């Protein structure tokens, strides 16, 4: 089969699209004929390499895909040939015994398909059936591939970890990114008052289209000052931050007393200066969040399948142009998700 792959970490030039051994489904696994895959910022980190990341090379990237069940391995009970499926990329530890109230994301060996083990940007992928969800007829492959990782991440951040309530004020940073644009939609769906930031007027226009009530161009204005002004000096109840070092101090400054900062990422660095006095005096909560449990993911994906929430697509490219897909993300071009399809099905 053909697969996106790299044999060493590095710049975009290390990405290739070429022959790779055909995967075979093992016990409890399903062979999926991939119709579309989506990129996440994670694909950039994985390509560049991260401390502690020790990959079997060549590595196939990709943590989002959707396609058709081509074959089932022994012991598979939930799927049969021809079923339409999408991937949930989080994998709990082997033999996990459901402590932590059954929260798989807190299992000690929790890892992500595409990041820690081979991913799915290929013509075929053999995947544990427990990592697959059914995609209803009528949902197109691009939507099915672009939604799972970012919508589950944003759902857990806002709803499960942050416990966002209708009527609260929430600030979503980086509203043009995958997680950001999902967070804006979920906050709006919840009935919160949504403030969103992005780096250009065009991106802010999109943010308003998907549900932002108030927008701030943080390249032009100090977003913490703007939030104070827009909320009559009060600040917001929740900040959704996946940008990290560059925004951290202003995220804290944007919160009202007792506010919550929910973080899932640190695109601009993970070691910001912080203001401990502000945290204790204003009794702020700092909440970490990663991926989601299958039941949380299913809850939000049902809303996507029903059309209540919807991924916006920056571009759909053949997998042989994955390097360009990385460029779009790294250069912060556009709004929403970048999707790749195997070259053999690109035109279908």
Ligand X SMILES: NC(=O)c1ccc[n+]([C@@H]2O[C@H](COP(=O)([O-])OP(=O)(O)OC[C@H]3O[C@@H](n4cnc5c(N)ncnc54)[C@H](OP(=O)(O)O)[C@@H]3O)[C@@H](O)[C@H]2O)c1
- Interface residue list for ligand X (CB under 6 A): 40-42, 149-150, 153, 174, 176-180, 198-199, 203, 242-243, 246, 264-268, 290-291, 329, 332
User: Of the two residues 161 and 341, which places its CB atom closer to ligand X in the complex?
Assistant: 161
CB of 254 to ligand X, least distance (A): 16
Q: Which is nearer to ligand X, 25 or 174 (CB)?
A: 174
DSSP-derived pairing of the beta strands 111-112 and 90-91: antiparallel
Rank residues 35 and 41 by Cβ distance to ligand X and give the closer one. Answer: 41
In whole angstroms, how close is the CB of 182 to ligand X at the nearest point? 8
Q: In what order do the strands lie in the sheet with 193-198?
A: 214-217, 193-198, 169-172, 236-241, 255-263, 285-288
Smallest gap, in angstroms, from Cβ of residue 217 to ligand X? Answer: 9
For the chain, the C-alpha Rg in angstroms (whole number) is 20
Of the two residues 33 and 299, which places its CB atom closer to ligand X in the complex?
Answer: 299
What's the CA gap between 237 and 336, in Å, rounded?
25
The tokens 């699209």 sit on which residue?
17
β-pair partners for 318 = 341
> Tokens 């992500």 — which residue?
112
- Min CB(77)–ligand X separation in Å: 28
Find, among 127, 144, 146, 148, the residue nearest to 136 by Cα.
144
Q: Between 283 and 295, whose beta carbon lies closer to ligand X?
A: 295
Residue tagged 């672009």 (tokens): 146
Task: In angstroms, give the least distance from the CB of 288 to ligand X.
Answer: 8
**Number of neighbouring beta carbons within 10 Å of residue 258:** 11
Least spacing, CB of residue 105 vs ligand X, in Å? 8
Q: Compute the distance between CA of residue 144 and CA of residue 26 in angstroms, rounded to an integer.
A: 24
**Cβ closer to ligand X: 186 or 329?**
329
Pairing relationship of beta strands 285-288 and 313-318 according to DSSP bridges: unpaired
Q: Could you give the CA distance from residue 275 to residue 115 in angstroms, rounded to a whole number?
A: 32
Which residue, 144 or 292, has its beta carbon nearer to ligand X? Answer: 292
Least Å distance, CB 178 to ligand X, is 3
Q: Which residue number, 69 or 261, has a Cβ lying nearer to ligand X?
A: 261
Closest chain position to ligand X (CB) = 177
Q: Taking a C-beta distance cutoff of 8 angstroms, is the pair 173, 242 a contact?
A: yes
Tokens of 137: 């007829």
Q: How far is the CB of 339 from ligand X (least distance, A)?
A: 12
Q: Which two tokens stand for residue 242?
A: 């996946």
Q: Which residues lie closer than 8 Å to 163 by C-beta, 6 or more apart?
A: 260
């Amino acid at each position: 089969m053909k697969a996106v792959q790299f044999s060493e970490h590095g710049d975009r030039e290390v990405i290739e699209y070429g022959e790779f051994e055909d995967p075979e489904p093992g016990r409890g696994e399903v062979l999926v004929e991939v119709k579309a895959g989506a990129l996440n910022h994670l694909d950039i980190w994985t390509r560049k390499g991260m401390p502690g990341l020790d990959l079997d090379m060549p590595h196939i990237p990709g943590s989002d895909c959707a396609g058709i069940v081509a074959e089932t391995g022994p012991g598979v009970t939930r799927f049969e040939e021809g079923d339409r499926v999408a991937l949930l990329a989080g994998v709990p530890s082997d033999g996990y015994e459901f402590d932590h109230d059954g929260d798989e994301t807190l299992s000690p060996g929790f890892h992500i398909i595409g990041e820690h083990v081979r991913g799915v940007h290929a013509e075929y992928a053999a995947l544990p059936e427990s990592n697959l969800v059914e995609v209803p007829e009528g949902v197109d492959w691009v939507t099915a591939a672009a939604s799972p990782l970012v919508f589950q991440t944003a759902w857990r951040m806002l709803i499960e970890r942050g416990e966002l309530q209708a009527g609260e004020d929430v600030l979503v940073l980086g509203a043009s990114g995958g997680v950001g644009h999902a967070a804006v939609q979920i906050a709006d769906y919840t009935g919160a008052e949504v403030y969103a930031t992005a780096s250009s007027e065009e991106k802010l226009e999109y943010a308003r289209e998907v549900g932002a009530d108030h927008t701030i161009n943080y390249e032009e204005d100090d977003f913490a000052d703007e939030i104070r002004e827009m909320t009559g000096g009060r600040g917001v109840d929740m900040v959704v931050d996946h940008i990290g070092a560059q925004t951290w101090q202003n995220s804290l400054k944007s919160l009202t007393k007792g506010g919550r900062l929910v973080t899932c990422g640190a695109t601009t660095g993970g070691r910001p200066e912080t203001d401990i006095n502000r945290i204790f005096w204003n009794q702020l909560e700092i909440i970490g969040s990663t991926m989601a449990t299958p039941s949380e993911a299913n809850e939000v994906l049902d809303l996507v399948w029903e059309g209540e929430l919807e991924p916006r697509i920056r571009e759909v490219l053949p997998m042989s142009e994955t390097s360009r897909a990385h460029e779009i993300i790294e250069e912060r071009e556009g709004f929403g998700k970048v999707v790749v399809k195997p070259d053999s099905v690109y035109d279908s």
